[in-house]
Amino acid sequence: MVVAAPAVRNPTPPFSTDEDGYMTCENVRIRDIQNDMDTSPMYIYSKEQLVNNYKAYEEALKGLPSIIGYAIKANNNLRIVEILKDLGSGAVLVSGNELRVAVKAGMDMTKTVFNGNGKTYQELLYAVKCGCLINIDSEFDLEHIVDAAKEVKKTANVLIRINPNVDPEVHPYVSTGLAGSKFGIRNSHLKWFLERIKEEDVLSLVGVHCHLGSTIKKVDIFKDAAEIMLGFINDIRSEGFDTLKYLNIGGGLGIDYERIGEHIPRPIDLINTIRPQLTEAGLTIIVEPGRSMVGNIAVFVSEVIGVKTSGSKNFIVTDGSMAELIRPSLYDAYQFICLTQPGGSIETFDIVGPVCESADFLGKNRTMPTPVEGSGLAVMDAGAYCYVMASNYNMKPRPAEILVDGDEWRIIRRAETFDDMMSLYDR
């Protein structure tokens, strides 16, 4: 039976289809990029969408002293980070190498926050030297920060990451603000941390931080967390701390992966929901957009190797796999998939890669036109937590990344080669 292809609302205008049925990014046909490249698969980014996403946060925060701290873990491409820096963004980091990327991109360290539940001593030495804000995540983390600050002979500006114990109602792997999370301090232990900080002249407590998780679609959850954090701010001030400058409310807004017209909160929805609490706090607000900043700026593009059937199921086999994009396999996550050029009859397929795992799929039970061999296939909304989680499983090289700007495009990270992988071995 032939079924109709699903109607899809496209929330990212830079990706569309031209009059001949070819998918475009801004003013460039994706098929043309594929034809010009000597490697596949690849990630293709829209600069226009990145700028639009940043401006949406900028507009939402008007009237509030604020820092937009892009979460580099979502996408660490240096050119993407540089564009955001030029727009005025700060950065949020979870490793020493991410801090190095922020420094290399020219980020303002006063708008940069170093998070993490397992920061190493060497990473903390570098962070203190750079002068970025540092989150205290545990008792041992506090002691390591103290030792690093004493060795560097420089005051460390610190925030305390407090778990508000608010359920973000998301996949458990991306839930971070519950009492049982590995991140942050116990609420009941706040007074101990405050007393310990008072003992050390090398620490200046400048703020508090919370982060609920990722892919959040209910902004009222942020309101609950903000109200809880206001209580902690009052407790800290009552202990004599007059140095508080920042309330970091984290990130976590979801995006429209399903593309079925579901209402997805915008940055303005998030900020307006908690604006009264932010105003009452009287602090500079730090937000940490990652997925909502870069998720919808990219597509992951592969080529169809062939189409096959098992009798009961049809498969599209592509040269893209879980090695380059693991979200569907790791989280059972859904990302919309379409062809980059016209196809044939409408059928239902599993889209799978060549990696030797049954878990190697990009999508299951997708209704779409039948492609011919060599057709381009695009996984939408691939800008966040996709390339950064790529691996060399089955000796697959990491793919190229392409940036489109109007009617021009350029490689912003070349594809890895076999020789690159071999170069890591001792001679």
* Residues with active-site annotation: 356
Q: Which residue is listed with tokens 């878990």?
A: 359
**What single DSSP character describes residue 423?**
T
Which amino acid, residue 158?
V
- Check: CB of residue 348 under 8 Å from CB of residue 370: no
Q: Residues 6 or more apart from 325 whose CB is under 8 A from it?
A: 300, 362, 379, 382, 386, 389, 390
The strand ranges marked E within 353-421 are 361-369, 376-379, 400-405, 408-413
Tokens of 23: 């998918």
Contact assessment for residue 382 and residue 325, using Cβ atoms and an 8 Å cutoff: yes
Residue 30 and residue 34: Cα distance in Å, rounded?
Answer: 6
Q: Which of 76, 45, 51 is nearest to 409 (CA)?
A: 45
**Across 118-175, where does the E strand assignment appear?**
133-136, 156-161
